[in-house]
């Protein structure tokens, strides 16, 4: 029995061991399953947390997720934080530069608008309280930059942007070195900017074709001709730099020969703070009793043969016409009347038509075009480049006679056509329709106060941004973008409404004699 007991005794530990081993394996299996579950839970938690953080920070950064409900989809703009040498330093030293630039210092206050107009005791309307400022016509760099700060679709993520704004004060840079500086000095800031831009990661996306900057000068001021003209005192070579050749440049007047410079309106004296400011002004100019048939604001050209410039013929006809109003500067060069904003605005308010020959220094247009239209005055052009081949974002593209009158300059210079007779021949009902179209265009010709923003109306900046975004989209689609219409022929139907009103030279003499 001993052995049996012994054998039995020997088997008990083995059986127990088998049970113990099975229990251990079961415990390990349970532990393994528990570890897997915990690991999966941890992974799920990490995924959930990451998703939460993603949504959280996306909302904080401006909700730039691409979705059908995003009102800024396709409209985001990224603004470079340029080194101050490209903007603020340029205007900070304005008093040290001397010459004409010193005169600009007073115009750089209030976000580039200049000083508010004081109440002259007339009607209390054309004053700083109502949004009127002594704005310089070349202050667009600062005005546009400050106005961009109010754009509703800015982004700090350049990858989400449809366009990139370069706040380089090119117009001010050109102005400070306008006279008496050599080519290297005038080109220094533009060359520096070109190098800075082309090494930025944002530049590589479209080689700068989605970039734009604004300059309060004409396009020719940034496209100096090569060769013998390379060291003349006119302008710099910004548009000839590697960066300048690809960017879009918004200027006061286009060169009409290149696809990269787009014209935007000259700044006027009126900078509304709200839709109500604009609507009140439109109502005012609509109700104005206009006592003058036509008006001209500007001085005669000096040392220019009268036979070669229509401007002098326009002034001569205005002086000889009792129905034409002119401030003192047109009669006596140097008169301060042409530099009094309130006087200019009130003169335009009293005229039905405003005569707009080409401007100074060979430019095709002039600030007066926009000052007069803001006052509800119908512009009379003598050259197609003054408006019809420019400002295609801000003025009607095709039916130009909806808002203006065109009298060919050659007819005025050589055939001695009577401007008064042409304007009197326009039916009153047509005049009313034209004036209403001018009044309708007023908001898009204004630069709203950059410290505020219009609620529903679009100002000149809004329209320009839409034009840039459309341009970039077309470039992405492979289109060849052109800033202007064809320059070798006049726009369609341009003469349809005026050709029949210009009688032959002999008949015009008879009309003049019978008046």
Determine which of 54-68, 253-267, 421-435, 451-465 has the lowest per-residue pLDDT on average: 54-68
Label residues 14-31 b or e (16+ Cβ within 10 Å = b): eeeeeeeeeeeeeeeeee
The domain segmentation of the chain, as residue ranges, is 77-263, 287-442
For residues 152 and 144, what is the distance between their CA atoms, to the nearest angstrom? 14
Give the C-alpha separation, 240 to 234, whole Å.
14
CB-based contact 371:344 (threshold 8 Å):
yes
Per-residue pLDDT at 257: 75
The predicted model scores a pTM of 0.80
On the question of pLDDT at 65 being above 70, the answer is: no
Which 3 state secondary structure label does DSSP give 352? strand
Contact 260, 290 (CB under 8 A): no
Give mean pLDDT, residues 487-510: 45
More confident residue, 74 or 68: 74
Q: Are 234 and 221 in contact (CB under 8 A)?
A: yes
pLDDT (average), residues 176-182: 80
Q: Tens digits of per-residue pLDDT, 132-155?
A: 999 999 899 999 999 999 999 999
The tally of CA atoms less than 13 A away on the side-chain side of residue 440 is 10
Contact of 323 with 98, CB cutoff 8 Å:
no
Burial classification of residue 97, based on how many CB atoms lie within 10 Å of its CB (0-12 exposed, 13-18 middle, 19 or more buried): middle
Alpha carbon distance 258, 515 (integer Å): 47
Two structure tokens written together for 492: 């369609």
Rounded to an integer, what distance in angstroms lies between the CA atom of residue 345 and that of residue 347?
5
- For the stretch 217-248, pLDDT in tens is 998 889 876 544 454 556 788 988 999 999 99
Task: Tokens 């109306």: give the residue.
Answer: 457
Task: Name, in order, each residue with C-beta under 8 angstroms of 86's C-beta and a sequence gap of 6 or more.
Answer: 167, 168, 169, 189, 192, 193, 196
Q: Is the pLDDT of residue 175 over 90?
A: no
Residue 102 confidence (pLDDT): 59
- pLDDT score for 495: 43
Count the neighbouring beta carbons within 10 Å of the beta carbon of residue 369: 24
Q: Is the pLDDT of residue 496 over 90?
A: no
∠ CA(506), CA(502), CA(253), 5° rounding? Answer: 130
> In whole angstroms, how large is the CA radius of gyration of the chain?
34
Q: Mean pLDDT over all residues of the chain?
A: 80
pLDDT, residue 441, reads 98
pLDDT in tens, 76-128: 999 999 999 999 999 887 765 555 555 677 788 899 999 999 987 777 899 99
Per-residue pLDDT at 21: 47
As a residue count, the chain comes to 515
How many CA atoms, within 13 angstroms, populate the side-chain half-sphere of residue 390?
A: 27
- In our burial notation (b when 16+ CB lie closer than 10 A, e otherwise), range 201-233 reads ebbeeeebbbbbbbbbbbbbbbbbeeeeeeeee
The pLDDT value given to residue 452: 86
Overall average pLDDT of the 404-424 stretch? 89
Q: State the Cα–Cα distance between residues 214 and 23, nearest whole angstrom.
A: 81
Confidence of residue 9 (pLDDT cuts 50, 70, 90): very low
Residue 7 has pLDDT above 70, yes or no: no
Higher pLDDT, 230 or 454: 454
Q: Is the pLDDT of residue 502 over 60?
A: no
Sheet holding 77-79, edge to edge: 77-79, 163-165, 211-218, 248-253, 261-263
d(CA 21, CA 26): 9
Residue 209 and residue 478 in contact, taking contact as beta carbons nearer than 8 Å: no
Phi–psi pair at 54, nearest 5 degrees: -60, -50
Helix (H, G, I), strand (E, B) or coil at 227: helix
Beta-carbon neighbour count of residue 128 at 10 Å?
A: 17
Identify the burial level of 289 via C-beta atoms within 10 angstroms of its C-beta, where 0-12 means exposed, 13-18 middle and 19 or more buried: exposed
> By the 8 A CB rule, do 322 and 291 touch?
no
192 vs 363: which has the higher pLDDT: 192
Average pLDDT in the 163-190 region? Answer: 90
Fold type of domain 287-442: Rossmann fold (3.40.50)
Q: What is the pLDDT of residues 324-373, one digit of tens each?
A: 999 876 555 555 566 789 999 999 999 999 999 998 767 889 999 999 99
């Amino acid at each position: 029995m001993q052995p049996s007991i012994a054998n039995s005794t020997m088997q008990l530990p083995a059986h127990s061991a088998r049970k113990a081993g099975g229990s251990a394996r079961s415990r390990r299996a349970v532990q393994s399953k528990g570890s897997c579950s915990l690991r999966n839970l941890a992974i799920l938690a990490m995924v959930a947390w990451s998703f939460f953080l993603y949504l959280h920070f996306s909302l904080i950064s401006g909700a730039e997720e691409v979705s059908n409900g995003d009102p800024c989809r396709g409209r985001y703009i990224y603004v470079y934080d340029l080194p101050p040498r490209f903007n603020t330093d340029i205007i900070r030293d304005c008093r040290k530069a001397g010459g004409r630039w010193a005169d600009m210092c007073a115009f750089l206050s209030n976000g580039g608008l200049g000083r508010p107009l004081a109440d002259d005791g007339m009607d209390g309307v054309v004053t700083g309280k109502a949004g009127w400022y002594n704005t310089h016509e070349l202050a667009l760099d600062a005005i546009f930059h400050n106005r961009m700060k109010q754009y509703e679709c800015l982004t700090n993520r350049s990858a989400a942007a449809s366009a990139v704004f370069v706040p380089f004060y090119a117009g001010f840079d050109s102005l400070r070195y306008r006279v008496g500086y050599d080519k290297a000095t005038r080109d220094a800031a533009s060359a520096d900017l070109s190098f800075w831009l082309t090494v930025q990661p944002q530049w590589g996306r479209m080689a700068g074709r989605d970039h734009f900057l604004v300059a309060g000068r004409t396009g020719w001021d940034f496209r100096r001709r090569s060769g013998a003209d390379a060291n003349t005192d006119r302008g710099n070579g910004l548009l000839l730099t590697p960066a300048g050749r690809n960017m879009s440049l918004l200027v006061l007047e286009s060169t009409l020969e290149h696809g990269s410079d787009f014209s935007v309106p000259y700044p006027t004296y009126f900078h509304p703070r709200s839709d109500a400011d604009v609507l009140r002004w439109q109502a005012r100019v609509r109700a104005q009793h206009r006592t003058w048939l036509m008006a001209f604001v500007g001085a005669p050209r000096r040392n220019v043969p009268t036979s070669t410039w229509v401007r002098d013929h326009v002034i001569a006809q205005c002086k000889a016409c009792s129905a034409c109003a002119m401030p003192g500067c047109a009669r006596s060069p140097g008169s301060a009347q042409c530099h009094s904003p309130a006087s200019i605005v009130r003169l335009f308010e009293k005229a039905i038509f405003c005569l707009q020959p080409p401007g100074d220094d060979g430019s095709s247009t002039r600030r007066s075009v926009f000052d007069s239209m803001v006052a509800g005055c119908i512009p009379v052009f003598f050259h197609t480049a003054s408006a019809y081949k420019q400002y295609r974002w801000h003025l009607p593209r095709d039916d130009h006679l909806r808002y203006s009158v065109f009298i060919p300059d050659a007819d005025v210079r050589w055939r001695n056509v009577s401007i008064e007779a042409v304007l009197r021949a326009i039916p009153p009902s047509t005049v009313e329709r034209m004036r209403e179209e001018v009044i309708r265009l007023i908001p898009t010709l204004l630069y709203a106060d950059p410290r505020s923003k219009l609620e529903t109306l679009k100002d000149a900046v809004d329209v320009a941004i839409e034009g840039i975004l459309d341009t970039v989209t077309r470039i992405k689609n492979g289109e060849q973008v052109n800033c202007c219409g064809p320059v070798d022929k006049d726009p369609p139907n341009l003469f349809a409404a005026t050709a029949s009103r210009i009688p032959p030279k002999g008949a015009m003499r008879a009309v003049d004699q019978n008046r």
